[in-house]
């Protein structure tokens, strides 16, 4: 399985997002474990949070 890359999480990742999501991740004060590559795996919970944060910026 692929783990969610958010520091302290460790849930199974259900989605991968690209780096355009990084500002949304940072706006939520979430930290990544290390430097992600082009794809950032996220669990269901964090994907929802990040997606909402991203959409609310527009
Ligand atoms: Zn997570």
Which pTM was predicted? 0.90
Cβ atoms 17, 42 nearer than 8 A: yes
How confident is the model over 14-56, as pLDDT tens digits?
Answer: 999 999 999 999 999 999 998 878 999 999 999 999 999 999 8
Enumerate residues 6+ apart whose C-beta is below 8 A from 49. Answer: 28, 30
CA 8 to centroid of ligand 1, rounded, Å:
8
Read off the DSSP letter of residue 21.
G
Nearest alpha-carbon partner for 36 in 13, 57, 55, 53: 13
Taking the domains of the chain in order of start, what are their residue ranges?
A: 13-55
Q: What is the CA(26)–ligand 1 centre distance, in A?
A: 14
Q: How far is the CA of 30 from the centre of ligand 1 (A)?
A: 10
Distance of CA 39 to the CA centre of its chain: 10
The contacts of residue 19 (CB under 8 Å, 6+ apart) are 36, 38, 40
Ligand 1 centroid from CA 48, angstroms: 10
């Amino acid at each position: 399985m692929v783990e969610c890359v958010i520091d302290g999480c460790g849930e199974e990742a259900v989605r991968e997002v690209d780096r355009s999501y990084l500002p949304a991740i940072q706006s939520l004060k979430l930290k990544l474990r290390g430097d992600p590559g082009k794809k950032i795996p996220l669990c269901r919970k964090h994907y929802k949070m990040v997606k909402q944060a991203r959409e609310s910026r527009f």
